[in-house]
Structure 1
Amino acid sequence: MCGIAGIFHTEGLKPVDPARVTRMLDVAQHRGPDGQGVWTAPGVGLGHLRLSIIDLAGSPQPMASADSMAMIVFNGEIYNYRDLRRELQAEGVEFRTSGDTEVILAAYQRWGLDCLPRLHGMFAFALYDLRERTLLLARDRLGVKPLHMATLSDGSVIFGSELKQLLAHPSLRRDLDPLAVEDYLCWGYVPDHRSILRGVEKLPAGHYRLLRHDAPPPRPVQWWDVSFTGREKGSAADLGAHMLHHLRAAVTSRMAADVPLGAFLSGGVDSSSVVALMAEASSDPVKTCSIGFDVAALDETAYADRVAAQYGAEHRKRMVGSEDFALADRLAAMFDEPFADASALPTFRVCELAREHVTVALSGDGADEAFAGYRRQVFHHREEQVRGLLPQGLRGPVLGTLGQIYPKADWAPRPLRAKSTLLSLAQSGEEGYARSLSVIPDDLRDSLYTPDFLRLRGEYRAEQPFIDLMRNAPARSGLDRAQYADLKFYLPGDILTKVDRTSMAVSLEAREPLLDHRLVEFGARLPEAMRVKGSVGKWLMKDTMRRYLPQDVLFRPKMGFVTPIAAWLRGPLAGEARAVAQGGELARTGWLDAGRIAGLAEAHIAGRADHSRLLWQLLMLEKSLARLS
């Protein structure tokens, strides 16, 4: 696990100042405290920060190929590199190191761009071909590892693992993109198709770009996608056996490391499954860690304790309280862009705890997207069945009208929140699912914007790219489309961004076995009844893990990494809530209505409504803009 950065000239072979590449590395030392290197040639400069995981004494980067005709900087892990190494050795390739970086170089020189589908793992790399004078930028299938880039006025392309590395280049302009603010207020993060700064791009997951010195940067090319059009055949027992095989292979392949290794353990199905399979594969106790909350209703550590005890893990835990709000400024620095998923706070704390004892930690992220484990997916599956019975011509006017007049009841159990269900059913499946996932619906966002911002935003709506993604998905059903959009939009934009930034902030490598692409592809082919059964999502995975985990761990209501932000903003953080509507960078933009925000803050503090997610979003937006100014 590492950090990379670089500069590439698309208008000739102008020299690259190595000091500029070094500055891009210096601001991200947390990603690689074990080593640093810079390489330059006419028209190109590559930089690397190393967190040593495999081949600790060897594999320095930037690394040259055996014939010195290719150079690479690489962030990530290739889990099948030993198999690729043997295949390449059989074809006559000789290796000087025992790590995975040299395998990527040799694979590229042997197979060209066709090497990408052969790489199993998480990665973002830049590979310069000295014969062709091209730079290949590539990102792994699901976007576990990030890659940011921007084209400057002099025709150079700069890139780095984090936005802060691009900001270290003096020629990058810091112009805010108002459409990114619209995206952020809708989703709580800036999705991968946009950046908070105009001109900055993120290489999409499963894509590559091939840059040349004598041509403008081309559009990204997709080299991998997941399809929901096929269906596996077989009984639950047969498919469960296949799933267990994939799960075991995914976990064991990610246990290879030359440094201490452990796991996050929340007490939920996914992380508990990972720990159970790690314990099965290891002769030593698994090192686990978990985070609890000072609000008892949200604390899941008792379940984590049970699983840890069952498998004899070396378990450690720590509590998070309202005083941890002091981390907000540090979180803003980690993410560079505004990021309002409040679970980033406990995620950082659990990474911090893990790093005290291990250098690599396995997580349970990805199973909800791959196997339909989110409640919103289960509800969407049911709503799609209703949509199939009622024509749009009836649903739109009738249910839409009922939804408008039905009282809002966020405090009630989900089945009694008819307003959101009626409004969702009045729309198409894609529109309804986008609404269920959005943090701030479009009507509330519109009420926050000033006339100046509405003019800047124009006709754009943040939900539209998500809706288009669902409509164009390689899928057979509404559930398929929802999962596809979660895998391609929500997962890289929110979940994987959160885990990458919080883990790398403490120089910890996080690995996601449940995002092994073969496991994800298998999940996409499962019959709907194996994914959702009644009100139970992720059914086949839960059924498969019965032999490993207690019933109440498998089938208790999903909580997720919930943070008691609402209670904090009414109590010890009420002053922060009120401060959102006052001065600062956000107010200086003139894009949001300060009076409207102040009213929402007071309503929340008084307990008349729950605006905690909005207030937290605005707090994090303010802190992010202050850092970018």
Structure 2
Amino acid sequence: MCGIVGIVDTRSKRDIDRSLLHTMNESQHHRGPDEGGLHTEPGVGLGHRRLSIIDLSSGQQPLFNEDHSVVVVYNGEIYNYVELMAELVELGHTFRTHCDTEVIVHAWEQWGEACVDSFRGMFGFALWDRNKETLFLARDRLGVKPLFYSMLPDGMFIFGSELKSLLAYPGMQRDIDPRAVEDYFAFGYVPEPKTIYKNAFKLPPGHTLTIRFGQPLPQSKQFWDVPFAPHAPMSEQDAGAELIERLREAVRIRLVAEVPLGAFLSGGVDSSAVVAMMSGLMNEPVNTCSISFNDPAFDESKYASQVAAQYKTRHHTDMVDKDDYSLLDTLAELYDEPYADSSAIPTYRVCQLAKKRVTVALSGDGGDENLAGYRRYKYAMAEDRVRSTMPAGFRKPVFGMLGRYYPKADWAPRVFRAKTTFEALSRDLVEGYFHGVSIMPDRVREQLFSAKFRSDLQGYRAIDVMRGHAAASPTDDPLSMIQYLDMKTYLPGDILTKVDRASMAHALEVRVPLLDHKLVEWISGLPSSIKLKGSQGKYIFKKSLEAHLPDDILYRDKMGFAVPIGNWFRGPLRQRVRDALLGPTLAETGIFDTAFLREMVEQHESGRRDYSAPLWTLLMFEAFLRKELHGDGAEAARTQRAFERPLEVI
């Protein structure tokens, strides 16, 4: 796994500042501590940091074709590279290495932009073809690997694996995008293709971007989408058997490495399934890593130990204090933009533990999105069944009124906390689901933001993100639709971002077999009725795993990777929350209604309301701003002005 950067003059082929390229490259040293390489030629500069996994003795980057007219920098793994290499040799290409990187340059020569259709794996790469005066960028289908870019006013195009590499470029504009702020306080992250900055973007998953010298920057082009194309009818037994075989194959192709390899093992269904498959494929015990908490309410390490004992793995567990909040400022440095998933803390710790034992770890990420494992899917489908029983003309005004006037009672038993349900029932499926997953629902964000900032948004709302994806959805099945929405937003924006930054901070490569695109395509075609059956999520997956895992692993309640932030904010972090939310950093932006910030803090402290997630979201936004401002008065004033500019509608 690696980090890539680049500077390309799209207008006049000015010389690239090699020292600046080096600075950008070294900003991502943690992604590839083994080696670094640069290439410059008129108008083009490419940089690479390498974490050596395959073909340790060669495969250094930037890597060229035979006549040095094509050069690539690449972050990822292409698991079918051996087959592609053989195919390309048959077509007349000559290879100098045994690594997957060289497959990219020859596949480009053979198939051009369509080369990405042949790659099976995770990747973010940039390729320069001197003869065609073309730069080609690509990101893998599900967004496992990141890729950021910006076109600057002077025609310089810059890109990198992390946003920090772009920020190392002196001409990079750092004006904050108000729409990204609205998105962040709804989702808890800034969804693709936006970043927190107006002029920096994420290349969306399954997209390419082709830049030709002297031409304007085009729109990115999608080369893949989750199909949700139904299969021919099959029995549950046959579906389960095929699911296991396809998972086993997805795991098998991810076991190629010339460095120590293992797996994360939380004791949940997905990671346990991956370990079960690995154990049947490897000739030696699997290295497994998990963390435990010193509070039984958050600890599921006993389940991980149970699976480890069943499969005789070399199991390693580290104890983490449930009050491990020392990473707050580290997270702001790690993610480069606001990011509010508090499970980033235990994820960072488990990656830290794993790196002591292995360089490559397989994870179970993606199973919930693929196979309908989240509890919220069950609630969303129950709400949708209610919606379908009554006309919208009746449902919207009646439940809308109930949602407005029913009291918000976080302190009450769940049966009496109907406000959120009423609000969801007044909406359609997409808006109801958005409402259910929002960190702060619309009514809270309306109170949170100042009148001026709401005006700056010019009517933009975060629901527009989901509306856009829903309009492009290949399915109208309700469950498949919300799975699709998660695969376009939550999966790349939250889950995969979290794992990439946490693992790369420790120079650890994480592979995700449940997000193998061929497996995802096949699972998407299964009937919704065998993914979520009654109240049982992942129904067909769990049934198919009964021969491999015990019932108390498969059918216990899902715990997740939670940390007790609500208690922190009433206890050891109480003063920090007050200082952050009621101090000058947030107030000077002009974004927030400061009276409502105070109300949130005081109501949470008193226990009248549970504002855990909103307070954490604000805390991480304040940490980002402090990092952005660097405590410099002039910089602070400049960034404040960025908030004050009217929104540019693009």
Q: TM-score, normalised by structure 2?
A: 0.95
Any runs of at least 4 consecutive aligned residues in structure 1 with deviations exceeding 6 A, and if so which? Answer: none
> Which digits, 9 at most, give the CA deviation of each residue in 1:97-141, with x for residues without a partner?
011000111111111111111100000000011110100010000
Query: Who is 2:256 aligned against?
Result: 256
Counting only pairs closer than 5 Å after superposition, residues 214-253 of structure 1 correspond to structure 2 as: 214-253=214-253
Tell me by how many angstroms 1:467 deviates.
2.4
Match of 1:559 in 2: 559
Superposed counterparts of 1:465-614, under 5 Å: 465-614=465-614
2:102 aligned with 1:138: no
Aligned residues: 629
TM-fit CA distance, 1:594: 2.3
Change (3 A) 1:52 1:102: same
Residue equivalent to 2:419: 419
DSSP 3-state at the match of 1:98: coil
CA–CA distance in structure 1, aligned partners of residues 231 and 425 of structure 2? 27
Q: Tell me if the contact between 2:403 and 2:422 (Cα under 8 Å) persists in the aligned partners.
A: yes
Q: Could you say what secondary structure the match of 2:154 adopts?
A: coil
Q: Secondary structure at the match of 1:558?
A: coil
Runs of at least 5 residues in structure 2 that lack an aligned partner in the other structure: 630-650
Shift in alpha-carbon separation, 1:335–1:81, aligned structure 2, 3 A = same
2:489 is paired with a residue whose SS is: helix
1:294: how far off? 3.2
Structure-1 residue corresponding to 2:96: 96
Distance in 2, matches of 1:418 and 1:557, equals 23
Which has the higher mean CA deviation after the structures are superposed, 25-34 or 230-239?
A: 230-239
1:12-27 map, 5 Å: 12-27=12-27
Between the aligned partners of 2:79 and 2:531, the Cα distance in structure 1 is 27
Query: Which residue of structure 1 aligns with residue 56 of structure 2?
Result: 56
Q: Which amino acid aligns with 2:36?
A: Q
Quick one: distance in 2 between partners of 1:426 and 1:607? 29
Q: Does 1:171 align with 2:135?
A: no
Does residue 46 in structure 1 map to residue 46 in structure 2?
yes
Q: What letter is aligned with 1:122?
A: M
1:125 matched residue in structure 2: 125
The answer on 1:396 being equivalent to 2:408 is: no
Q: What amino acid is the match of 1:24?
A: M
Shift of 1:553: 1.1
d(CA) in 2 for partners of 1:2, 1:331: 20
Supply the distance in 2 between the matched residues of 1:604 and 1:353 (Cα, whole angstroms). 34
Amino acid at match of 1:450: S
Q: 177-186 or 492-501: which moved more?
A: 177-186
Separation (CA, whole Å) in 2 of partners of 1:521 and 1:558 = 25
Distance apart, 1:414 and its partner CA: 5.4
Of 130-139 and 457-466, the range deviating more from structure 2: 457-466
Shift of 1:600: 1.2
* Residue number in structure 2 paired with 1:456: 456
CA–CA distance in 2 between the matches of 1:298 and 1:395?
Answer: 39
1:83-102, Cα deviation, whole Å (9 max, x unpaired): 11111122222211011000
Q: Name the CA shift for 1:453/1:406 in 2 (closer, same or farther; >3 Å).
A: same
**Which residue is equivalent to 1:268?**
268
Hey, what's the Cα distance between the residues in 2 that align with 1:468 and 1:56?
A: 43
Between the aligned partners of 2:317 and 2:219, the Cα distance in structure 1 is 46
Higher alpha-carbon deviation: 293-302 or 126-135: 293-302
Deviation at 1:229, TM superposition (A): 4.0
Taking the aligned partners of 1:413 and 1:232, their CA distance within structure 2 comes to 45
After superposition, the Cα gap between the structure-2 partners of 1:530 and 1:503, relative to the gap in structure 1 and judged at 3 Å, is same
Call closer, same or farther: CA 1:68–1:616 in 2, change over 3 Å.
same
Cα separation, partners in 2 of 1:412 and 1:606, compared to 1, 3 Å: closer
Unaligned runs of 5+ residues in structure 1 are: none
- Cα distance in structure 1, aligned partners of 2:185 and 2:450: 14
Distance in 2, Cα, partners of 1:404 & 1:451: 21
Instruction: Tell which deviates more after alignment, 301-310 or 225-234.
Output: 225-234
SS at match of 1:263: strand
Q: TM-score, normalised by structure 1?
A: 0.98
Looking at structure 2, the residues matched to 558 and 394 of structure 1 have their Cα atoms a distance apart, in angstroms, of 36
Paired position in structure 2 for 1:302: 302
CA distance in 2: counterparts of 1:487 and 1:504, whole angstroms: 22
Amino acid corresponding to residue 149 of structure 2 in structure 1: M
Conserved 8 A contact 1:409-1:417: yes
Q: For the residues of structure 2 that align with 1:142 and 1:472, how far apart are their CA atoms?
A: 16
Q: Sort the Cα spacing of 1:425 and 1:481 in 2 relative to 1 into closer, same or farther, 3 A.
A: same
Q: Residue by residue, what CA displacement relative to the aligned partner does 1:279-310 show, whole Å, maximum 9, x if unpaired?
A: 11112111111122233212111111111111
Task: Quote the offset at 1:416 in angstroms.
Answer: 5.4
Contact 2:532 2:538 in 1 (8 A): yes
Partner of 2:212: 212
Task: Name the stretch that deviates more: 319-328 or 297-306.
Answer: 319-328
Residue identity opposite 2:301 in structure 1: T
CA contact 1:580–1:597 (8 Å) conserved in 2: no
Deviation per CA, 1:294-333, whole angstroms, max 9, x where unpaired? 3321211111111111111111122332552111111110
Q: CA deviation at 1:396?
A: 0.7
Describe the SS at the equivalent of 1:580: helix
Letter of the 1:368 partner, please give it.
D
1:316 aligned residue: 316
Tell me, in whole angstroms, the C-alpha distance in 2 between the residues paired with 1:627 and 1:584: 14
Alignment check: 8 A CA contact 1:8 1:43 kept: yes
> What is the CA–CA distance in structure 2 between the aligned matches of 1:27 and 1:449, rounded to whole Å?
34
Q: Give 1:150's aligned amino acid.
A: S
Mean alpha-carbon deviation: is it higher for 257-266 or for 456-465?
A: 456-465
Deviation at 1:411, TM superposition (A): 5.0
- Tell me which residue corresponds to 1:331: 331
Matched residue SS, 1:241? helix
**Distance 1:229-1:415 versus aligned 2 partners, 3 A rule:** farther
RMSD, matched Cα: 1.4
In structure 2, C-alpha distance between the alignment counterparts of 1:380 and 1:541, rounded to whole Å: 20
Deviations 1:408-433 (A, max 9, x none): 34456656543222211111011101
1:76 is paired with a residue whose SS is strand
1:538-575 CA distance string (max 9 Å, x none): 11111111111111211112221111111121111111
For each residue in 1:580-622, what CA deviation from the matched residue of structure 2 results, as whole angstroms up to 9, or x when unmatched? 3232432221211222212211221222211111111111101
Pick which of 351-360 and 604-613 moved more.
Answer: 604-613
2:148 and 2:201 in contact (8 A); partners too:
yes
1:355-375 deviation line (CA, Å, top 9, x unaligned): 011000111100111111111
In 2: Cα distance, 1:234 partner to 1:414 partner: 39
1: CA distance, partners of 2:250 / 2:614: 37
| Corresponding residue number in structure 1 for 2:35 | 35
1:203 is aligned to 203
Amino acid at match of 1:442: D
Residue number in structure 1 paired with 2:344: 344
Paired letter, 1:299: D
Q: Given the superposition, is the C-alpha separation of residues 307 and 584 from structure 1 closer, same or farther in structure 2, using an over 3 Å criterion? A: farther
Partner Cα distance (1:414, 1:82) in 2: 54
Q: How far apart, in 2, do the equivalents of 1:30 and 1:89 lie?
A: 35
| Paired residue secondary structure (2:205) | coil
